[in-house]
Structure 1
Amino acid sequence: MGAQLRVYRQRIRSAQTTKKVTRAMELISASRIQKAQARMAASAPYSRAVTRAVSAVATFSQVDHVLTTEPESSTRAAVVLFTSDRGLNGAFSSSVLKQGEQLAELLRSEGKEVVYYLVGRKSVGYFSFRTRPYERAWTGGTDQPEFATAKEIGDAVVAKFLQDTAQGGVDEIHIVFNRFVSLVTQTPQVVRLLPLEVVDGVDAPSADEALPLYEFEPDTDAVLDALLPVYIESRIYNAMLQSAASEHAARQRAMKSASDNADTLIRDFTRLANNARQAEITQQIAEIVGGADALVPSK
């Protein structure tokens, strides 16, 4: 009984230590998510405005530009996966990787070669463990994104998009990230950045309305060339902020669940320890009574 009681007490101490760690991580994530939500909300209007402007120009200007023209045959596609650098956040990274695999299967079924760009150590570890190739990777700071990183990612994928496919370029750019819905819900989302497919936030004019007129200075190609990197950088940065907020929310939820499980373990092992202690006391009392009875002379 004594050895069993020691085991129970040791497990109680282990669960209490685990609870301290998970509770601290839960509080840290809860404090950081407020700032992440504020940054995400601050960047959203600019990202929507840039997307709206680019979509309107692409739809109503009727110009032939790489930004607005769908290629006759698409043979290569770039997929940017946004995961986390650290774990302990539930299915945050695995859901993105799963969605990326489904997207890759769809693209391959259409006869397209997939080129991967990875953001976060989890995606790098996933590809390295399976010895799968990828073009470039960015690690560090996924929970606190910086615009410089978004610009670097944007420059890399835009350079591939503008490059001829015969020389290693791509015809499409897709991003896969966790979209922040609420503190409870974060959903993996796939967005095709280029070529533009639909007008985001721009309604088509009715029959009695005229199409918007645009004047370009110095010329159309120069304006669209300038809009292309701005559009890509803003969308990628917004996706990074969405992913960061989702990561903190997922980690907070996972750590709360871990703390609750630790409480359950502590309660269960405490009950078992009390039962073992009571059994030990009962056995000791029985031994004492038995010994006392043995010392009593028989009549």
Structure 2
Amino acid sequence: MGAQLRVYKRRIKTVSATKKITRAMEMIAASRIVKAQRQVAASTPYAQELTRAVTAVATGSTTRHPLTTEVEHPSRAAVLLVTSDRGLAGGYSSNVIKAAERLTERLTGAGREVDSYIVGRKGVAYYGFRERKIAESWTGFTDNPTYADAKRIAAPLIEAVLRDTADGGVDELHIVYTEFVSMLTQTPVEHRLLPLSLEPAAQAEAPKGVVLPLYDFEPSAEEVLDALLPRYVESRIYNALLQAAASKHAATRRAMKSATDNAEELIKSLKRLANAARQADITQEISEIVGGASALADASAGSD
């Protein structure tokens, strides 16, 4: 029993050390969520207003710009998947990868060839393990993305949209990422960034008595779109990166809290087992002492 007691004590020490690590990681993730939430709150209005501005230009002119005009029979599409560089976040990366897989299957079923662009080591590892082609990938910044990272991602995507499909270009650009809803809820979502889906409200006729604004573009609507649309793509990708970062930190915090709680339960169970082993040792020692005393007493009585 003494050896069993030492095993329990050693396991309690190991689990306690693990509990300290998971507790520290939980606290770090909780502190990072606050900063990530502020960044999401600051970037979302800008991305929304820029989308409205681009929509206004597109609906207020008759220009058929390649980034706002849908192809009648699209044959190729690009999918940007945003995952994480690190694990220990529960099903965060696997959930968004599954969403990208469903989107890819749907696009493939519609007759489109899909080019995959991946952000994060988890997504790169998933596609690499399955020997799937990756058009381009970016890693190393998913925990704290910057606008420069978004510009670096947006550049080849915009170039692919502008390029003819015969030369390897694409007709559509989709993005799949995890939207931060709350500390407890993070939802994988997918959006089509290009061609821009014009808002129904912008295309609807004005209510009776309300005059729709008229726009005069200088130097031209096409040049305005040329200037606005790259900013639109960059801002939407940047907002998606921030949403994904906040979601990842929330998922890490939840996973580490669960790990800490499980470690506490395991320590309690091991302590109960250790106490039972210690009690068994004590009982055995008492039995041995009583048995030895009885044997000595019997020996003394026999000699008399």
Would the TM-score normalized by the shorter structure come out above 0.5? yes
Deviation string 1:114-164 (CA, Å, 9 cap, x unpaired) is: 101100010011111111110111001101001111001111100000000
Cα separation, 2, equivalents of 1:32 and 1:104: 32
- What are structure 2's unaligned runs of at least 5 residues? none
In structure 2, the residue matched to 1:97 is 97
Letter in 2 for 1:287: E
Letter in 2 for 1:209: V
For the 8 Å contact 1:124–1:137, the answer to whether it is kept is yes
For the 8 Å contact 1:79–1:114, the answer to whether it is kept is yes
Distance 1:244 1:82, change over 3 A: same
> What SS is found at the alignment partner of 1:31?
helix
Letter in 2 for 1:262: A
In structure 2, the residue matched to 1:20 is 20
Which has the larger displacement, 233-242 or 205-214? Answer: 205-214
In structure 2, the residue matched to 1:39 is 39
Which has the larger displacement, 195-204 or 211-220? Answer: 195-204
Cα separation, 2, equivalents of 1:243 and 1:28: 17
Cα separation, 2, equivalents of 1:201 and 1:236: 24
* Runs of 4+ displaced beyond 6 Å: none
> What SS is found at the alignment partner of 2:52?
helix
Cα separation, 1, equivalents of 2:301 and 2:202: 105
In structure 1, the residue matched to 2:275 is 274
Q: CA deviation at 1:190?
A: 0.2
Q: CA deviation at 1:214?
A: 1.3
For the 8 Å contact 1:19–1:262, the answer to whether it is kept is yes
Q: CA deviation at 1:52?
A: 1.0
> What SS is found at the alignment partner of 1:30?
helix
For the 8 Å contact 2:57–2:221, the answer to whether it is kept is no
Does structure 1 residue 128 correspond to structure 2 residue 131?
no
For the 8 Å contact 1:61–1:213, the answer to whether it is kept is no
In structure 2, the residue matched to 1:292 is 293
Cα separation, 2, equivalents of 1:197 and 1:203: 11
For the 8 Å contact 1:150–1:237, the answer to whether it is kept is yes
Which has the larger displacement, 53-62 or 170-179? Answer: 53-62
Q: CA deviation at 1:58?
A: 2.1
Does structure 1 residue 219 correspond to structure 2 residue 220?
yes
In structure 2, the residue matched to 1:242 is 243
Deviation string 1:21-47 (CA, Å, 9 cap, x unpaired) is: 000000111111111111111111111
Cα separation, 1, equivalents of 2:3 and 2:200: 68
In structure 2, the residue matched to 1:6 is 6
Q: CA deviation at 1:63?
A: 2.3
In structure 2, the residue matched to 1:106 is 106
In structure 2, the residue matched to 1:69 is 69
In structure 1, the residue matched to 2:86 is 86
Cα separation, 2, equivalents of 1:125 and 1:149: 20
In structure 2, the residue matched to 1:265 is 266
Which of the two has higher C-alpha Rg? 2
For the 8 Å contact 1:58–1:67, the answer to whether it is kept is no
Cα separation, 1, equivalents of 2:128 and 2:200: 36
Note the aligned Cα RMSD (angstroms): 1.4
In structure 1, the residue matched to 2:180 is 180
For the 8 Å contact 1:52–1:200, the answer to whether it is kept is no
Q: CA deviation at 1:236?
A: 0.3
Count of residue pairs the alignment pairs up: 299
Distance 1:67 1:208, change over 3 A: farther
Q: CA deviation at 1:74?
A: 0.5
In structure 1, the residue matched to 2:52 is 52
Letter in 2 for 1:3: A
Q: CA deviation at 1:54?
A: 1.1
Letter in 2 for 1:146: T
TM-score normalised by structure 2 residue count: 0.95
Cα separation, 1, equivalents of 2:71 and 2:113: 15
Cα separation, 2, equivalents of 1:2 and 1:202: 79
Identity %: 59
Letter in 1 for 2:264: D
